Amino acid sequence: MNLSACPECGHVFNRNERAVLRHREILRLWEVVKNANAVLQEHGLLPLAVCDDGAVGLARLAPLALLYLDGSDDPLEAEAQYRAATFAPGAVVVIDDANSYNGREYGKADRLYPLLQECGASVTIHDTERPANQEPYRMLVAVLP
């Protein structure tokens, strides 16, 4: 069997290149978190930056006044993160990349757009940037009741 080890932590992998790439991405994210916490501390702030599954992390937070979703293009993941959060009255939910993508009219916001309307939120779509010769990128903004 062809084994390789992570040069940073020594974790040994089999031939599964996906696992190796995912592990490298996790190490990169942890480095970003470490650097973010160092900057927070330098400015006298608590080092509270974390790397976590979005839905898991959001479920641990106090009611949010603002939720900005800008991660995976998967509408199921965006919905899971939204559902995991608790919201203060009048909270604002912003979903980036709510443009037509992969056959979905609202991209990652495809499942949340109707759900937000059904819960009585004021929902609007805004162009954010317009790359040359492409449809504009859009953002969904919802104000919850």
Rounded CA-CA distance 56/51 in Å is 10
29 and 64 part of one domain? no
Tokens at 93, concatenated: 């939910």
Q: Which of 61-75, 81-95, 128-142 is predicted most confidently?
A: 81-95
36 and 92 part of one domain? no
CATH of the domain at 138: 3.40.50.150
72 and 118 part of one domain? yes
**What average pLDDT score do residues 99-113 get?**
91
82 and 106 part of one domain? yes
100 and 139 part of one domain? yes
Q: How many domains does the chain contain in total?
A: 2
Long-range contacts of the stretch 19-27 (C-beta < 8 A, 24+): 26/51
80 and 134 part of one domain? yes
Residue 120 has pLDDT above 60, yes or no: yes
Residue 142 has pLDDT above 90, yes or no: yes
90 and 134 part of one domain? yes
Q: What is the pTM of this model?
A: 0.70
Contact 126, 75 (CB under 8 A): no
Instruction: Quickly state the pLDDT bin for 2 (edges 50, 70, 90).
Output: very low
**What average pLDDT score do residues 27-40 get?**
86
Rounded CA-CA distance 129/25 in Å is 28
Instruction: Quickly state the pLDDT bin for 1 (edges 50, 70, 90).
Output: very low
101 and 33 part of one domain? no
Residue 10 has pLDDT above 80, yes or no: no
